[in-house]
A and B are shown apart, each in its own frame.
Chain A
């Protein structure tokens, strides 16, 4: 695996770590598969792209988070206020977001970002240009790549720290309890519906932030950016858990980041070794997630066969 490939995996893995943490919140903490993810990711892309073009890249990231949180709230309200099945609620929001996202991008299917992304701003701040590097193109590219890497790492760690803190606060604990034992929460004085809405808001805020920073890094936004990201997030969470194990929220969030980085590196390795063509990626990811989710059931079945076998011997 070449260094640039590894760097690429690390960069995108750190950006997608925001998505993985968002998916961890909905899938593990709230205990609901949230299909809003695909739409809210693209919403983050669209909001960030449009504001970047308007010259406000940092505001773009902030608004991406808020817009994603709003989208998550809509799904939450559909679930809790009108009693729509969680999966259907997510599908409805995702579907509706397609129109909203297109509208945000001014009715166009894609937007090219001008030179005002946070990355370009940082290149300016750190004086990263060809002249400063004495026309050494390789050193210049490397400085750029490392800047991208640092932005990804800082953002991922910042969001990680905020989430760890949040889920230790009183309200964060109420959200965790709601995902863990909803019956208990409903018969306590906690507003279970409100906690679900809040949890989905935070989850989709993180997801949209991932879309927002990813589009500024790539310099290009399209309406189809979010297709398949839910499986990417799930795969990251599951790979992280496979390595670290399933423990509390703090460990879970950290392992989501690790899983995301690992997943991005692995798929780069697999495509570079020509194990499969790039367009197989979605199928491979889906199969990985399906197998990982099936594992507990498979283990249980194996156990049952063992016990059966034991009995016939006795």
Chain B
């Protein structure tokens, strides 16, 4: 279970660029929650993920994962429990390392003795099985440098790397936005499958409103550093994109503004 209690973050404090990106945010994520997150540009969605993953330290508030305080820990100490995926497929893998070396990095942070061989024969079968689930042919190219893969293949590999060590939380920041529609759909299907099979509590930022309402079990909407809408259950089942738009403008007194927002259902 993830708990955010009164989390506030202000960037560039004391300068003309001072900007409060998170304003007293509180949120509880149950273990079986798959939350989708909507919001206009600059609403603070990525900042929310940054606060949890530890890209920066928050100014105020507490962040607890399974009862353990995260807010004081550096990024790399949270990474074992928090898997993160970004929009840019180049970000999550090392291009000059092979597929199996990348997977070994993701797998062995806790269990391997530092001077043991990184890639061991006994792991290869496991990597192969995991990769073959993607049906992208990656399992036959494990000695290939990751830099030679396509964006979709790299993102699928990143997804596997983020989940292979059983994180307690998965954060997806528009992780299919940079892919072509067909590949995006494929990576999305893999995502849903992995989350379901491994039962990882997940948060996913998307600009596709239809997808936000149909994926997962709960949807929140952010604006100006706050959570302005949090729907689940029947309320969510009956929600439509036009209704969501009306709710937003009713709550904020302005139109939803996101240059990439997809309004289609």
Contacts and interface: CB of A to CB of B under 8 A. Distances in A.
Given A186-B75, A187-B55, A170 B104 contact: yes
A200 to B, nearest CB: 17
A139 interface: no
A176 B108 contact: no
Interface majority SS (helix, strand, loop, mixed), chain A: helix
A171 B115 CA distance: 6
Contacts of B116: 169-170
Contacts of B92: 184, 187
B79 interface: yes
B97 A186 contact: no
Given A177-B97, A177-B105, A186-B75, A172 B118 contact: yes
A183 interface: yes
Given A180-B96, A181-B93, A188 B105 contact: yes
A191 B74 CA distance: 10
Nearest to A248: B96
A97 interface: no
A184 B94 contact: yes
A184 B118 CA distance: 18
Interface in A195-243: none
Contacts of B101: 173, 176-177
Contact of A170 (B84, B94, B95, B115): B115
A168 interface: yes
Nearest to B85: A187
A174 B75 contact: no
A173 B118 contact: yes
Given A170-B104, A177-B97, A190-B109, A184 B91 contact: yes
A177 B108 CA distance: 14
Contacts of A184: 91-94
A13 B115 CA distance: 30
Nearest to A176: B97
B77 interface: yes
A188 B106 contact: yes
Nearest to A180: B94
Which of B77, B106, B114, B119 lies at the interface centre, i.e. has the most chain A CB atoms within 10 A of its CB?
B114
Q: How large is the interface on B (under 10, 10 to 19, 20 to 34, 35 or more residues)?
A: 20 to 34
A134 interface: no
Given A184-B93, A187-B55, A169 B115 contact: yes
B80 interface: yes
Given A186-B76, A187-B75, A190-B76, A170 B93 contact: no
A296 to B, nearest CB: 16
Contacts of B112: 170
Contacts of B91: 181, 183-184, 187
A7 B105 CA distance: 44
Interface majority SS (helix, strand, loop, mixed), chain B: loop
A312 interface: no
B182 interface: no
A189 B77 contact: yes
Interface in B95-153: 95-97, 101-102, 104-106, 108-110, 112-119
Contacts of B108: 170
Contact of B97 (A173, A189, A191): A173
A183 B55 CA distance: 11
A187 B106 CA distance: 11
A149 interface: no
A112 B197 CA distance: 71
A248 B147 CA distance: 13
B53 interface: yes
A230 to B, nearest CB: 23
Interface in A151-189: 168-174, 176-177, 180-181, 183-189
A189 B110 CA distance: 9
Contact of B79 (A169, A183, A189): A189
Which of B53, B77, B79, B95 lies at the interface centre, i.e. has the most chain A CB atoms within 10 A of its CB?
B79
A169 B76 contact: no
Contacts of B102: 177
B117 A168 contact: yes
B76 A188 contact: yes
Contacts of A248: 96
A163 to B, nearest CB: 13
Contact of B117 (A169, A183, A186, A190): A169
A248 B90 CA distance: 19
Given A169-B114, A188-B105, A188-B109, A181 B94 contact: yes
A191 B104 CA distance: 16
Contacts of A173: 97, 101, 104-105, 118-119
A190 B106 CA distance: 9
A192 B76 contact: yes
Given A169-B116, A170-B114, A187-B84, 17 more contacts: A168-B117, A169-B114, A170-B104, A170-B108, A170-B113, A170-B116, A173-B97, A173-B105, A173-B118, A176-B97, A177-B97, A183-B91, A187-B92, A188-B105, A188-B109, A189-B110, A191-B76
